[in-house]
Amino acid sequence: MLQIDLWKRVLIWAVIVLGLLLAMPNAFYTRVETANDASAAIELGADTTENRDAAAEWPSFLPSGLVNLGLDLRGGAHLLAEVLVKDVYEARMEAFWPDVRDALRGERDKIGTIRWNSEAVKNGELRVRISKPEGMEHALEIVRGLARPVVSLTGAGATDLEVRGEGTEIVVTLSEAEQQATDERTLRQSLEIIRRRIDEVGTREPTIQRQGFDRILIQVPGLGSAQELKDIIGTTAQLTFQPVVSRASSADQAPGVGNEILPSLDEEGVFYILEQTPVVTGEELTNAQPSFDQNGRPAVSFTFNAAGARKFGDYTAENIGSPFAIVLDGEVISAPVIQSHIPGGSGIITGNFTVEESTNLAVLLRAGALPAGLEFLEERTIGPELGQDSIDAGKIATIVAFVAVLVFMAASYGLFGIFANIALIINIGLIFGMLSMFGATLTLPGIAGIVLTVGMAVDANVLVFERIREELKTAKGPARAIELGYEKALSAIVDANITTFITAVILFVMGSGPVRGFAITLGLGILTSVFTAIFVTRLLIVMWFERRRPKKIEV
């Protein structure tokens, strides 16, 4: 008859307690938030008594995960930017011209004079006209010889250039594999740069996400306007190559006239005294990518534009054996020793890198400037007042909706309605618990999703109760009726909720921003409401039934 195994009961209660425990911090939102911020600050080194007191506001043994509030509730700035990946092709092709020129120069007797069509570079093509078309094959062969293997997972085995002849012109473009690898790199670099810039401002929980293939979504809560955000992203970080005078162990040392002292990026307590005037700057860098040195160790190769190449070539020729520093935003990334004269503007940085480190360094090297232009497709600014108004309105609406449904259920089903109401309260707790656990974002449509769940969550209970009523008519005794009610309503509950869940999943996958927030609460709401209806209400009814053993029940 009506029986639920002890282990099941324990499990159900455990889930409820866990869910409610996870949801609890949200009831003390501001307090937990200040405590969390203070703990984070302590971890970052700001170990002041003030922060300690603030952190102690919320006991550390309690869960402290909070539901993130979306931009529409908290206020802030939102940008959707498209990275113009083709910009990079242009720069690459432009920088490739000196190589082609040098390679073909020695073959003048076979191919005649060469002329660069600098207009075509805008389309990502390097077009070179030769005066003796009969030497085309030879010229193509030479240029093809300049191609390098593509460094990427998918493009293994391919080379980076595609070279063909068109009449009297040699046409060089990036190969498809290289374009893909370049695009990927451009996006990663852009993301990294944007992240660094925004981190410097130090706002709480920015979202910086790649969207689709070539877009970046940036959301910063608490920022005054989207324009402000654009300004932050647009500020150029400074990358320089500077001669190293000496190493130092503290920032207080006197660097001397014309020199400056800068800290190392990743070695604590290491400082470098550098000459203030850079040899070259990041603006003259056209490319940096992970590669391998002649011994197969991870390294980073880089290329300067023509002007940078000349300066860098001259400097390296004169300073073989002495270190020079790569400086990003006032911190020394690394200080390798010049091994040989580096002509042609491209070089390689070796060190004790892992592949990952070399990849990161390549990203950082280009982090001086955004590798490609950004086009802003969407920008939104939501003031904190509007967000607060929405939260207040949402709160009141949720409470009223909640109370209305509770009263209505109790009036319709009496004691059983009250059981359903207890389950509904647990249900809301569980939704918030799960939202906090996943660190999901609550948006205004998300609140609507919760309110809708309040309305629909009782559905599963209603299905069961109506079924019990029907079974009572055929008079098999209350225990049997309850059991049959659950058994027979199950297929309807499952089918009805799976169909709604399918739409929630589709919304989540296809939607963005606020719509996604709605899909999350709707989907979680379905899960928790099925759980509460099938397990929690049932457990409550069974416990009541065991205690009372009524001969007759009214549903």
Residues 193-222 that bind another protein (CB under 8 A): none
Q: Which of residues 63-82 bind another protein (CB under 8 A)?
A: 72, 80, 82
Q: Which of residues 266-285 bind another protein (CB under 8 A)?
A: none
Q: How far is the CB of 417 from another protein (least distance, A)?
A: 9
Phi, psi of 547 (to 5 degrees): -75, -45
Q: Which residues have a Cβ under 8 Å from the Cβ of 279 and sit 6 or more positions away?
A: 241, 242, 243, 311, 312, 315, 324
d(CA 94, CA 152): 22
Q: How far is the CB of 246 from another protein (least distance, A)?
A: 47
**Which x/- pattern, by CB under 8 A, does the window 335-354 give for another protein?**
--------------------
Token pair belonging to 120: 């075509």
d(CA 172, CA 161): 7
Q: Is 99 exposed, middle or buried (0-12, 13-18, 19+ CB in 10 A)?
A: middle
User: Which of 119, 252, 268, 385 touches another protein by CB under 8 A?
Assistant: 385
Q: How far is the CB of 416 from another protein (least distance, A)?
A: 10
**Which x/- pattern, by CB under 8 A, does the window 227-256 give for another protein?**
x--x--------------------------
Q: How many residues bind another protein (CB under 8 A)?
A: 76
Q: Which of residues 453-482 bind another protein (CB under 8 A)?
A: 454-456, 458-459, 462-463, 466, 469-470
User: Which of 64, 358, 381, 529 touches another protein by CB under 8 A?
Assistant: 381
Q: Which of residues 302-341 bind another protein (CB under 8 A)?
A: none
User: Which of 4, 237, 479, 492 touches another protein by CB under 8 A?
Assistant: 492
By beta-carbon proximity to another protein, the closer residue of 205 and 459 is 459
Q: What share of the chain is helix, strand, coil (3-state, %, to 5)?
A: 55, 20, 25
CA angle 150, 151, 156 (to 5 degrees): 65
State which H helix or E strand residue 378 sits in: strand 374-382
Q: Is 446 exposed, middle or buried (0-12, 13-18, 19+ CB in 10 A)?
A: buried
Q: How far is the CB of 526 from another protein (least distance, A)?
A: 9
Q: How far is the CB of 44 from another protein (least distance, A)?
A: 32
By beta-carbon proximity to another protein, the closer residue of 4 and 515 is 515
- Minimal CA–CA distance to 262: which of 271, 254, 249, 252? 271
Q: How far is the CB of 195 from another protein (least distance, A)?
A: 22
Rounded alpha-carbon distances, angstroms, from residue 95 to 307, 308, 320: 10, 10, 25
Token pair belonging to 463: 């299905």
Q: Which of residues 118-147 bind another protein (CB under 8 A)?
A: none
d(CA 520, CA 524): 6
By beta-carbon proximity to another protein, the closer residue of 72 and 125 is 72
Q: How far is the CB of 389 from another protein (least distance, A)?
A: 6
Q: Is 510 in the site for another protein (CB under 8 A)?
A: yes
d(CA 524, CA 435): 8
Q: Is 226 in the site for another protein (CB under 8 A)?
A: yes
User: Which of 46, 56, 156, 400 touches another protein by CB under 8 A?
Assistant: 400
Q: Which of residues 401-430 bind another protein (CB under 8 A)?
A: 401-402, 404-405, 408-409, 411-414
User: Which of 41, 147, 386, 527 touches another protein by CB under 8 A?
Assistant: 386
CA 131 to chain centre: 52
- Minimal CA–CA distance to 305: which of 361, 362, 279, 344? 344
User: Which of 33, 184, 293, 378 touches another protein by CB under 8 A?
Assistant: 378
